[in-house]
Amino acid sequence: MNRTENTPAGAKTEIATFGTGCFWCTEAVFQELKGVIRVISGYMGGTVANPTYEEVCAGTTGHAECLQVVYDPSVITFDQLLEVFWESHDPTQLNRQGNDVGTQYRSAIFYHTEEQRRKAEDYKAKLNKEGAYPQPIVTEITAASTFYPAEDYHQNYYNEHGSQPYCYLVIRPKVEKFEKVFKDKLKKNDTTPR
């Protein structure tokens, strides 16, 4: 997929790619944002072509679980996506998120343009300078490489399996917290006339 594509309405879209630990945990968060057209769970940043979930979980591919977010920049900006990125996981944990441990769960921003790189680095530096977190941010900021979509059963996971224990106990509280903090950015609260 190219960096930009035309939507049916003709609006230009852009792509952002984020690693926030388990892609199940934050896919549901980004899907709720106004201006986000599609969220695809997948793998990036490694050396193995067409990796499987099992290979990525083994930690031998170099890939991170990540989300590719297709969005309309006239509705939501990359800066706003960065804000959600920083708030939706713990960017101070090296190669882990909660009980998920390994390089595949690293915090990462895979930039697609020089502007995205600059904005990500500036935002990270600002948060560190302000002491926004008790520990320094360890988020990797690196150029996007080939994105490999995850297997079909990983896509839209929380929305299709919300009653499973992992979804209910781990993902649901994250989504509920997100909905309170970002209520003005949610599709379900969109009052824009059509």
Are 140 and 107 within 8 A, CB to CB?
yes
Q: What's the token pair of residue 103?
A: 């390089």
56: CATH: 3.30.1060.10
For the chain, what is the mean pLDDT? Answer: 89
Q: Note the pLDDT of residue 190.
A: 63
In a domain, 129, yes or no: yes
Going by pLDDT thresholds of 50, 70 and 90, the confidence category of residue 7 is low
- At 142, the amino acid letter reads T
For residue 49, give its domain range: 14-183
Q: Is 5 domain-assigned?
A: no
106 domain residue, yes or no:
yes
Number of folded domains that form the chain: 1
Residues designated catalytic: 22
Q: Is residue 3 one of the residues assigned to a domain?
A: no
In a domain, residue 171? The reply is yes
* Residue linked to tokens 């388990």: 22
Span 150-188, pLDDT tens digits: 999 999 988 888 888 888 888 888 888 888 888 888 887
